[in-house]
Amino acid sequence: MIADLKPYPAYRDSGLPWLGKVPEHWIINPNRAIFREINDCGHEEAEMLSVTIKKGIIRQNTLLSGSSKKDSSRQDKSAYKLVQPDDIAYNKMRAWQGAIGVSEYRGIISPAYIVMRLRSSLNYPRYFHHLYRTPLFAKEAERLSYGITSDMWSLRSEHFKMIYTPLPPPDEQAAIVRFLNWSNGQLEKAIRAKRKVITLLNEQKQAIIHRAVTRGLDPSVPLKPSGIHWLGDIPAHWELRRISTACDLVVDGTHFSPPNESVGEFLYITAKNVKEYGIETSNATYIKAMDHRDIYRRCPVRKYDVIYIKDGATAGLATVNNLDEEFSMLSSIALLRPKPSVLFPDFLALSLNDRLFKQNALSKVVGGAMTRFTIALIKRFPLLIPPLSEQLLIASAVNNELNPILSVQSNIEREIELLREYRTRLVADVVTGKLDVREAVMNLPDEALIDLPDNNSVEGLEDEPFEEEAIL
């Protein structure tokens, strides 16, 4: 059905560089004619909401539970703004990155944010939600944002009101919303199916890793009690040591986030860049040399150091640094430098990635809504250490077993990425009138409104900027 979509019969120039041509019967109106600004304060009892780049408006406790972030909101919330269901709200410092959306909830947001409400009940809020979260609109928001550097850009309410928005007739808005609900649901089903395959592959990988780093390659090896209940018996000739005695350096990255851009002098690595196979730089940002020097002085990461995610939803993932160049790291990542005479980096990374090791580590984290391993805790982690020559053999054998699995997993992850890119393009083409869904929506099944992506899941929120106290 999606493949059968066609353009509208006739178009006209919108007069807007970011929009291009629109169906000739669509109206183009300034936002001041479509929305009115809402500044309804004094509702301290309402739940806190957050405006995110990845998911639009969500409950703040969802954002906090899925990451290492803290509640930075003020204790006195009398000035916080009330958001009603179907209101549009945006983070004016992040609108150019997509931090805008329609709320499903009644709640309050930072007084630094902007709340807008449709003037006419004939318009469909979810149409604007889809439109304003497209890359096309983000570029227009960026153009109208005010500030010296990108970390200071702000889309003020008066500038939002100056933006011209395409307005299909209300019945077409409804058709667009219904079609996108259905198509997003279908694409999400496909993505979930691929995620299930990845889950099975992860289970297969874990079985291989656990056997190797707790028993080695010889199934007949003599065993001895480890003295640790979750480890059980271990090879008699292996040592049990704390990480602090097996590493020359254990330190985390910077505890402040420097200004970072898509281009710059030094890579700035966060949890999203750490993968099992190494550091992924395709979506990394960069910082200035001055900021890098201060960070690198404390955390001088080198090639073949082990990089360990210590905070947030992906805490417990380790990899061996595959980059030759210097880079800076955020505090959500730790650097572990093995003693060359004691520990092989690949074996250390495999041990940290063992599921039982992760479960034991997580059991030591007490309190708080987020996962956070302190450096002191990491240094106390127990580690099984075979002779160095045996570590090399184990790492080589495991990597040979894992490489085909990782290759399949990488292909599936790429397929998921392509599905998401396709979904982004489809939404943009539909909400801007490049594709006509009026006929297609008539043939949708009755369940077209079900099985939508879960807006309360924590997936993808780890690196979400969290600025409830943004600059006013």
User: DSSP string spanning 160-198?
Assistant: HTTSEEEE--HHHHHHHHHHHHHHHHHHHHHHHHHHHHH
* 275: its two tokens: 């993968």
Predicted confidence (pLDDT) per residue in 167-182, tens digit = 999 999 999 999 999 9
Question: Is it the case that residue 140 has pLDDT exceeding 80?
Answer: yes
Which residues have a Cβ under 8 Å from the Cβ of 266 and sit 6 or more positions away? Answer: 286, 287, 288, 289, 292, 296, 325, 326, 327, 328
Separation between Cα atoms, residue 396 and residue 344, nearest integer Å:
11
pLDDT given for residue 459 in this prediction? 53
Separation between Cα atoms, residue 224 and residue 229, nearest integer Å:
13
What's the average model confidence in pLDDT over 221-237? 93
Enclosing H/E stretch for 385: strand 382-385
Separation between Cα atoms, residue 51 and residue 58, nearest integer Å:
7
Which residues have a Cβ under 8 Å from the Cβ of 471 and sit 6 or more positions away? Answer: 93, 112, 152, 154
Instruction: Tell me if the pTM is above 0.85.
Output: no
- Which residue type occupies 440? A
Least confident of 28-37, 151-160, 422-431: 151-160
Domains of the chain, CATH where assigned: 2-169+440-449 (3.90.220.20), 228-385 (3.90.220.20)
Which residues have a Cβ under 8 Å from the Cβ of 405 and sit 6 or more positions away? Answer: 201, 204, 205
What's the average model confidence in pLDDT over 187-201? 97
Question: Is it the case that residue 470 has pLDDT exceeding 50?
Answer: no
Q: How far are the Cα atoms of 58, 104, 415 from residue 157, in angstroms, in the given order?
A: 21, 21, 39
DSSP 254: B
Separation between Cα atoms, residue 109 and residue 151, nearest integer Å:
20
Q: How far are the Cα atoms of 208, 350, 386 from residue 220, in angstroms, in the given order?
A: 17, 22, 16
Q: How far are the Cα atoms of 15, 18, 216, 234 from residue 169, in angstroms, in the given order?
A: 19, 21, 68, 70
Which residues have a Cβ under 8 Å from the Cβ of 366 and sit 6 or more positions away? Answer: none
Q: For residue 416, count CB atoms less than 10 angstroms from its CB and return exposed for 0-12, middle for 13-18, buried for 19 or more.
A: middle
Would you state the torsion angle of the CA atoms of residues 60, 61, 67, 68, taken in this order, to the nearest 10 degrees? 90
Predicted confidence (pLDDT) per residue in 330-375, tens digit = 999 999 999 999 999 999 999 999 998 888 888 777 555 567 889 9
Separation between Cα atoms, residue 302 and residue 287, nearest integer Å:
18
Contact 146, 96 (CB under 8 A): no
What's the average model confidence in pLDDT over 384-398? 97
What's the average model confidence in pLDDT over 366-388? 84
- Label residue 462 by pLDDT band (50, 70, 90): very low
- Label residue 450 by pLDDT band (50, 70, 90): very low
